[in-house]
Amino acid sequence: MAGVRSELAKTSKTSEEGARPLIAILLDHIESDYHVEIIESAIRVAERRGAQTLIIPGGALDRNGSPGKSRGFVYKYLGLAQIDGLMLLGGALSNYSGIDGFEQFYRSLPRVPAVVVGLDTPAAMCVAVNNHHGVSQVVDHLVQKHQRRKIA
């Protein structure tokens, strides 16, 4: 991710000398362990790198790539926030919109360095989530602790 950091430093909208860059994290909600773990990890890394985070749980996108009416309006204010970078939980945001709808939404966002987590799209740099280690731990736990052999 060194490329993202250097790109962020070059395009930072932060005007004050020594001001901390602001990274907005866009996701559908924060009610699941998956979302919480990703957010906590992102906050830890941002703090170590001297950046701030802005968490925006604006809801999932609809079939057309439009945010839902109940919370989606918050995405429209991103341009006012003077953000320096975006992290989008693409897999979660695109549950209803699919890749095409997500890409339409992505094109409507401020032009700042961005990374999409959990969705492979040519619109932005993407990071895949590899749950192999976690699944291995779950299976090991079921076999060793609970002596289960038939796992679906």
With respect to residue 95, please indicate whether it lies within any of the assigned structural domains.
yes
With respect to residue 152, please indicate whether it lies within any of the assigned structural domains.
no
CATH at residue 85? 3.40.50.2300
Q: Distance (Å, rounded) from C-alpha 101 to C-alpha 105?
A: 6
With respect to residue 150, please indicate whether it lies within any of the assigned structural domains.
no
- Number of domains comprising the chain: 1
132, 47, 33, 27: which is closest to 88 by C-alpha?
27
Apex CA 29: angle with CA 27 and CA 32, to 5°? 115
Provide the residue range defining the domain that includes 10: 2-144
With respect to residue 151, please indicate whether it lies within any of the assigned structural domains.
no
Q: Using DSSP bridges, classify how beta strands 22-27 and 85-89 pair: parallel, antiparallel or unpaired.
A: parallel
Which has the higher per-residue pLDDT, 10 or 37? 37
**Chain centroid, CA 128 distance in Å:** 11
pLDDT tens digits, residue range 58-106? Answer: 988 887 777 777 677 888 888 888 999 999 999 999 988 889 989 999 9
**Global confidence as pTM:** 0.73
pLDDT tens digits, residue range 116-146? Answer: 998 988 888 998 777 777 778 888 888 998 8
Q: Distance (Å, rounded) from C-alpha 54 to C-alpha 20?
A: 12
Q: Which residues, including other chains, have CB under 8 Å from residue 105's CB and lie 6 or more apart?
A: 61, 65, 66, 67, 75, 93, 97
